Amino acid sequence: MKKHLFAVLFLLAAALLWWLSLAPRRHQMAVAEGKKPQVVASGYVPYTLAKQIAGDLAQVSMLLPANAEPHSFEPTPGALIAVKNADLFVYVSDRIEPWAKDVLASAGEQTAVVQAAQYAAASDDPHVWMDFDNTQKIARAIAFALIQKDPSNRAAYGANLKAFEKELAELKEAYQKGLVSCRSRQVVHVGHLAFGNLTKNYNLSLSALAGSSHDGENSVRRVAELIEFIKKNQIQTIFTEETLSPRLSAAVAEETGAQVLPLYTVEHVSKDDFDRGVTYGELMRRNLESLQRGLECQA
């Protein structure tokens, strides 16, 4: 008799475990019918990619204020609440956003999370979106997460992803062709090390002022070394980061006679570009133009 009871209890427990394994966890569940998924992005890269894939089908917001520095941002209580209420939170990585773990801790039960860097190839440079193959994989991951949250609009997300993948393929080809024959292959960037993946992919050399975060000290010595390098190698053009103080690149330009051209990291944009909803593709086309002009490449 006792044996039977054990057998029945065992079967019941097994059935319960099976049923639990079938029940989707809340963060995997779709949003209610007729409700737009609430997508919260850490900074501009996940923001612009999510917008590109979602169009008007989701409500996409960004934690980092436009023009703010992404690596040393401190999340506000409002940011924690936004992530708590989000259906989807997209960020790059703990290396790019060391503050992401603080907001992740407040994610709601329904919040699905996409960590973009997880889909990128391993690299010393955490600015993984500066490689078009990585960006394609990240866009796919965002599209997949959106479809899980909003399966009735699967076709629209799929079409937007396809259009973006076509744009990425065109960009990749334009970079490959446009940076083949250049008078110089030396990119001197008066900014932080955000272009390691890009320069590596197109066989360009990179010297930057600071490391892969913005808070690396721009020591007087490092600036002096860079000026020395520019003079010694007769560099005609230096590249600057829009959101960095223009005074520094202006000073280096004055000292060396080099012209200054912009490069866009995409991870933060000016207020104007933000308000206009500048896209990843547009910023990367501007970067190609600057590189071709500055390095004197034959188109």
Residue 100 touching Zn ion (CB under 5 A): no
Smallest distance, Å, CB 127 to Zn ion? 6
Name which of 40 and 64 has its Cβ closer to Zn ion. Answer: 64
Residue 117 touching Zn ion (CB under 5 A): no
Name which of 188 and 208 has its Cβ closer to Zn ion. Answer: 208
Stretch that binds Zn ion, among 26-34, 80-88, 194-202, 269-277 (CB under 5 A): 194-202
SS (H, E, C) the chain: CHHHHHHHHHHHHHHHHHHHHHCCCHHHCCCCCCCCCEEEECCHHHHHHHHHHHCCCCEEEECCCCCCCCCCCCCCHHHHHHHHHCCEEEECCCCCCCCHHHHHCCCCCCCEEEEHHHHCCCCCCCCHHHCHHHHHHHHHHHHHHHHHHCHHHHHHHHHHHHHHHHHHHHHHHHHHHHCCCECCCEEEEECCCCCHHHHHHCCCEEEECCCCCCCCCCCHHHHHHHHHHHHHCCCCEEEEECCCCHHHHHHHHHHHCCEEEEECCCCCCCHHHHHHCCCHHHHHHHHHHHHHHHCCECC
Taking CB under 5 A as the criterion, the residue among 41, 58, 92, 194 binding Zn ion is 194
Residue 114 touching Zn ion (CB under 5 A): no
Residue 244 touching Zn ion (CB under 5 A): no
Stretch that binds Zn ion, among 98-106, 135-143, 187-195, 251-259 (CB under 5 A): 187-195
Smallest distance, Å, CB 255 to Zn ion? 25
Smallest distance, Å, CB 278 to Zn ion? 17
Residue nearest to Zn ion (CB): 194
Residue 208 touching Zn ion (CB under 5 A): no
Applying CB under 5 A, the site for Zn ion has a residue count of 1
Smallest distance, Å, CB 192 to Zn ion? 5
Smallest distance, Å, CB 294 to Zn ion? 20
Stretch that binds Zn ion, among 133-141, 191-199, 251-259, 291-299 (CB under 5 A): 191-199
Give the interface with Zn ion as residue ranges (CB under 5 A): 194
